[in-house]
Amino acid sequence: MPDADDGSRSLWVRTGLLSHSSQTNTVISCFWACQRSLRQYISRRKIERGLRLYEQHNQTAAVRTWKSALKTTCRGEDCFRLLGYLYQAHMDWGKYRDAIEFGHQQLGISEELDSPNMRAETYLNLCRAHASLGGLERALAYARHSLYNESGTKSRSGLVHLTVARVYLEMGGFSRALEGLQGAHKIATTIGDPSLELQVYVALSELFGRLQDSDKSATYASKAYDLSRSLQLGDLNSCHHRAALLRMAASLRRQGELGDAHDYCLEATRLSLISGDQATYTRSIRIMGDIYRKKMDIDRAFRQYEQAMGTSATLGDRMAQMEAMDGAARCLENLRLQGKICNCRPLEFNTRLLEVASSIGAKLLVRKIRSRLALIYRALGDEDQCNTHLRLASQTDAALGLNCGACGEVFGLQPASLEALPCSHILHARTTLSLDSQILWVLKTVNMLNLLD
């Protein structure tokens, strides 16, 4: 038998069939390698074409191109990059649940490639999406995971600090929010990232606006707007320009500049419609409702809030829905105080809003709702319920930590000028002047004692 095998093998060699088979395998392998290279080349061209379409405000075509490229992409890095673009596009549209799906696909790729940087980026994406949906505790958990996997990318670290600050801002942790924003601003100025700096200014304007320091809110909004005009409005960062426009509208509305606020809000609405940014569109019509309410055009304001509530409910954006409901509740309160409606509808609406705000964890809004409910129950003659809501509102004050560290008085509930310290504490501006004089007196005393020694 061995001789027969050798003979048959030699026969194959003599006839050249064995070598021909090896050559065939080599050709097939070369063919498959060329096909893979061609597919990767086509996928990268599609990625670039999608970016160009997105910059031209043709977002639907861009997303369709990226999804087509995703089907033919073989390399994990390219798939991760594509999913990142799709995530950002859906975040810009306000489709946060779809964005979360792309984030989970990114997480799977980052685990397969065992890349800490990819994991850090993915957890940041999931953090941002869940924060927009109102899942604040889950957002904080994802932020911690992102920082744990971070390996030296300062820009991403700054975004994590910014996102955490926004979460604490919604939860009413203003000192912790300020701490995160100060950290993000330090990173932005260190690495020279104007986009990150712009977002920090927008968040600082929001922070001081909620604490009723209109001047500081307007100052930071102006800084954000000035920076946004220096960025290219067609790139993926254009959503930050729209955010800056909305902050200008909100801060000017607080200062009573209703005409200018209306113009900024209209421009934000126009750009959001062009770009398909449903989240910004929802907030713009809500802020337009605030402007009409300030003008005492209650009917028109209420219609704006109703539209914002409907759009946010469709998107699943609980934060925007809560803000629109609060605006509608303020309209109902105005009508109640004018005697145009009875107490029943405001009572029912504020009770429902209290459930939404409590489930999200928005402590400052919970306090305001309880104060409104106390007034409604007092008008109904139910002193027990009135006192209960007043007591719970005062307990919320303690949880919010809105006591000035210098004078001990509460800040953020009435319009007042505030000052943020480098240690992230917030004080009344009037107390910082006396503190400065006391510090100077202590320093002079110490210097005199040193001279005597």
Question: What is the pTM for the complete model shown?
Answer: 0.83
Per-residue pLDDT, averaged over 10-22, amounts to 49
The three state secondary structure string of 185-245 is HHHHHHHCCHHHHHHHHHHHHHHHHHCCCHHHHHHHHHHHHHHHHHCCCCCCCHHHHHHHH
- Residues 393, 367 contacting (CB under 8 angstroms): yes
Higher-confidence residue of 62 and 20: namely 62
The enclosing H or E element of 427 equals strand 426-428
Among residues 310, 315, 314, 309, the alpha carbon closest in space to that of 328 is found at 309
Q: What per-residue confidence (pLDDT) applies to 11?
A: 43
Q: What is the DSSP string of 98-135?
A: HHHHHHHHHHHHHHHHT-HHHHHHHHHHHHHHHHHTT-
Among residues 162, 204, 146, 151, the alpha carbon closest in space to that of 420 is found at 204
Higher-confidence residue of 156 and 152: namely 156
User: Rg (Cα) of the chain, in Å, rounded?
Assistant: 29
> Tens digit of pLDDT for each residue in 233-284?
444 447 888 999 999 999 999 999 999 999 999 999 998 888 888 889 999 9
How many whole angstroms separate alpha carbon 346 and alpha carbon 329?
7
> Tens digit of pLDDT for each residue in 156-166?
889 999 999 99
The enclosing H or E element of 419 equals strand 418-420
Q: What is the DSSP letter of 420?
A: E
Q: What per-residue confidence (pLDDT) applies to 147?
A: 85
Q: What per-residue confidence (pLDDT) applies to 18?
A: 46
Mean pLDDT of the chain: 85
